[in-house]
Structure 1
C-alpha cells in the first residue's frame, strides 16, 4: 500500500480531532470492530460490534468518557490489505490496532489489543 505513513498519521490525527463524523468517514458501512473495551466499558456484553451505526454509537459514548483522548503513534506495520498501528491510547494504555482495508482503502474490520487492562 502506497503512502502508509500518511494513512497512519491521518488516522491518528482524525481520532485526535474527536470529530465522530470525520472518524466514521474512514470506515465502511458494514465495519466490524472487536475490542475488549466494548465489554469493559459496559456498552455491550459482547466484544464485537457490526455496522457503522452501532460502532458510531459506541465511539460517541467513548469520546464522552475520555474528553482528553490523544493517541500518540509509536509505530506501525503493514500486511496484506491491513495495517497494524501501535500507539499510546486513552489512560496511557499501549494499544495495537489492526485495520483491514477494502479495495477503496476504507477500513472494513478492526481488532484492538491492549497491554493487559
Structure 2
C-alpha cells in the first residue's frame, strides 16, 4: 500500500524542513515525483519563466540550487502543518518571514504539485 503523508503530516513536514535546513537538495527532492510541478512568485524573478511554474526535478533542482547559493544561511522553522484529503500545507518561518508550501500528493505519497506562498 502506498505511503500517505497526510497520515503523518508532522513527520512529513519535519523531514522536509530538516532536508532544507541541511541544504540537502537530494533529500528535499526525494519528497517529489519526477515530473512534479512547482510554482512560486520567485520563479519569474530568478529564472525569467513568466508562468511562475517549473516542471520536473531537473528544472526545480536548478532553481533551488541557485536559491541556496544566494542564501547560504537559509533556515526554516516549522510553525504548523495543515492536512487535507490528498495534500498538506506547511507553515514556516524563513528568511522572508512567514511562508507556506502547499503540497498535493500522488498515489505513491510523493508530491506531484507544490506551491510556495509568502507573506506580503
Q: TM-score, normalised by structure 2?
A: 0.89
Question: For 1:1-117, what aligned pairs fall within 5 Å after superposition?
Answer: 1-40=6-45, 42-46=46-50, 47-89=52-94, 91-116=95-120
Runs of 4+ with >3 A deviation = none
Residue 96 (structure 1) shift: 1.1
Q: What TM-score, normalized by structure 1, do the two folds share?
A: 0.91
The gaps in structure 2 that reach 5 residues or longer are 1-5
The number of residue pairs the alignment matches comes to 114
Q: CA deviation at 1:10?
A: 0.9
RMSD, aligned α-carbons: 1.1
Greater RCO structure (CA 8 Å; 6+ sep) = 2
Gaps of 5+ in 1: none
